[in-house]
Amino acid sequence: MKRWIIIALLSAICLWLLPYSVPLLLALATALLLEPPIRRLQDQYRLKRAHAVTAIFSLFLVILGFSLYFLVVILVQQVMALSQNLPYVLSEATKVFNRLIETWRLYSSSIPQEIIDSLERGVRTVQQMLLSFATNLTQSLVHYITAIPAFFIHFLVYLVALFLISLDLPRMKRSISRYLSERTRQRLGMVIAQLSKAGIGFIKAQFLLSLVTFFLALAGLLVLGIDYAALMALVIVIVDILPILGTGSVLVPWGIISMANGDNTLGVGLIVLFIVITVVRRIIEPKVFSTNLGISPLAALVSVYLGFQLLGFIGLFVGPVVVILIEALAKAGVIKWTIKL
C-alpha cells in the first residue's frame, strides 16, 4: 500500500511538472533518436562517447541551422511578395463583394420581407464572427510575437539539454536499471523499443505526407503563376495538419473567389489542385501510416482528432503517442485484454 501511494505521488508530481518540462522532454526524445548513429560511430571507429556525441550533435546543428535559415529566407521573401500584392487582392475581393451586393439589390425586391430580414440577420452574424475572428487573430499574433524571446530561451535550453543527455544516456539507463527487476527490465525494454519504432515512424509519416502536400501545392501554384507560391504552399501544409480543415479550407474558397472575380483559369486550377492533392494523399496515406506507424489509419485519425480537441496543437502528437503506448504495453504483456461478452 505504501509503495502505491509513493508511485501515485510521484506520478502526480510528474504530471504537474510536465508543462514546464517540454524542452527537456523534447531533448530526451531527440537524444533517443540520435543514439543509434552515435553508437554506430563508437562501434565502427572506436570513438570515445564524448567525441561521437560531439560529431553527431554538430551535424544535427548544421542540418537544423541550414533548414531554419532557408526556411526563414524563403518565408521573408514570400511575405514581402504577398504584402506587395495584398492591396490588389483586397481591391479584387472588394469588387467581388460589391458585385454580390448589386446582384442582391436587383433580386431583393421580389423576395418576401421576412426572408430578407432573416438573411440580413445572418449577414450581421457572419460580420460579427469575422470581426471576432480578426480580433482574436490579432491578439494571437501579438501573443506569439511577444513569446519569441521566451522561445529562444527554451530552444537554448533544449540544445544544451540535448547535448548533456546524449553524453549521459548510457549512465542514465544503467542507473534506472538498478532499481528494476529482470522481468521489469525486459518489459520496459520491449515497451521502449516499440515506442521508439512507432515514434520515429509517426514523425516520418507526418513528414512524408507534409512533404508530398507541400511539393504538390508548390508545383501547382507555380504552374498557375502565383508569385508567393512557397508561402501559400507552407500555409496549405500547416492547415492540412489540423484536423477537419485540410487543404480545401484554403484552395476551395480561393478558387471560388477567383472565379467570382472573373479569373476562371485560376479558380478552376486551384480546385483541380485541391482534388489532385486530396486524391494523392488518400492513395498514399494508408500505406504511409501502416508502414511507418504500426497502427491503423483509422486509429491514427481518431487519436489525432481527439488529441487536438482535448489538448490543442500539442494533442496532434500526444494523441497518437497514447495509442502507440497502449499498443506497446499490450505487446509487452503489461496490459492484457481479457474482456469477453
Query: Which mean pLDDT values do the consecutive 10-residue runs of the chain (341 residues) have?
Result: 73 74 84 88 90 94 85 67 61 64 64 67 66 61 66 88 92 81 76 70 80 91 85 81 67 81 85 90 75 69 74 67 74 63 51
46: left (phi over 0), alpha (psi -120 to 50) or beta: left
CB 290 within 8 A of CB 280: no
Residues 201, 166, single domain; the answer is: no
Residues 207, 148, single domain; the answer is: no
Residues 194, 159, single domain; the answer is: no
Interatomic CA distance for residues 285 and 277, integer angstroms: 11
CA distances from 109 to 58, 113, 115 (A): 72, 9, 11
Residues 275, 230, single domain; the answer is: yes
CA distances from 246 to 171, 213, 264, 312 (A): 45, 11, 23, 16
Residues 219, 160, single domain; the answer is: no
Query: How confident is the model at residue 246, as a pLDDT?
Result: 67
Residues 230, 154, single domain; the answer is: no
Query: How confident is the model at residue 340, as a pLDDT?
Result: 54
193: domain range? 183-333
Query: How confident is the model at residue 297, as a pLDDT?
Result: 65
Among 17, 22, 59, 68, which Cα is nearest to 41's?
59
CB 319 within 8 A of CB 307: yes
Q: What is the pTM of this model?
A: 0.61
Residues 329, 267, single domain; the answer is: yes
Query: How confident is the model at residue 243, as a pLDDT?
Result: 54
Query: How confident is the model at residue 61, as a pLDDT?
Result: 93
Q: Where are the beta strands (DSSP E) in 113-197?
A: none
Domains in the chain, number: 2
Residues in the chain: 341
Among 295, 280, 275, 279, which Cα is nearest to 205's?
295
